[in-house]
Amino acid sequence: MMKHAGIALIFSLVLAVPAGAVQPDEVLDNPQLESRAREISKELRCLVCQNQSIDDSDAELAKDLRVLVRERLVEGDSDEQVLSFITDRYGDYVLLRPPVNAGTALLWAGPFAIVLIAGAIVAVWLRRRQNQPASASGTGLSEEEQARLAKLIDQDDKPA
């Protein structure tokens, strides 16, 4: 029984490895160029899926970008020239790790700004909560309100 469970675990782990979306007709004959193409493709974002590299995406646009990368490599472009060509056409957004510059500053600083703003809101809320005077009974009611409440409770307890 344990042997079968072990085999099933290994089989499920093998299936869990993400398969690349590169089709056989896209693969270059030169293994070094194909390796470079794969590395470049892992750095480029699929503009349709937005959180996958073009190497992992089945979208038609991702396929077009993979083919474009391979065409540029066959023409003799360096990796940097290929990335520059793609970013000139599609902008820095196509990079999975966009550079820090004026155009991407909000993208990089946004999460930190949200955390800081949320922290400031919580700090102000806690400070206001601490500065509120607590009533003797802990109910937050004034003495007059407590007296009225006690009178109403006494009326409900009396039999009709």
**Calculated CA dihedral for residues 94, 97, 100, 104, nearest 10 degrees:** 40
State pTM to two decimals.
0.55
pLDDT of residue 117: 97
- DSSP secondary structure letter of residue 42: T
For 61, the token pair is 């646009």
Is the pLDDT at 9 greater than 70? The verdict is no
pLDDT of residue 4: 66
The top-level CATH class assigned to 2-99 is mainly alpha
Reported as a single tens digit per residue, the pLDDT across 17-30 is 444 566 666 677 78
Reported as a single tens digit per residue, the pLDDT across 115-124 is 999 999 999 9
Q: Where are the domains of the chain?
A: 2-99, 104-157
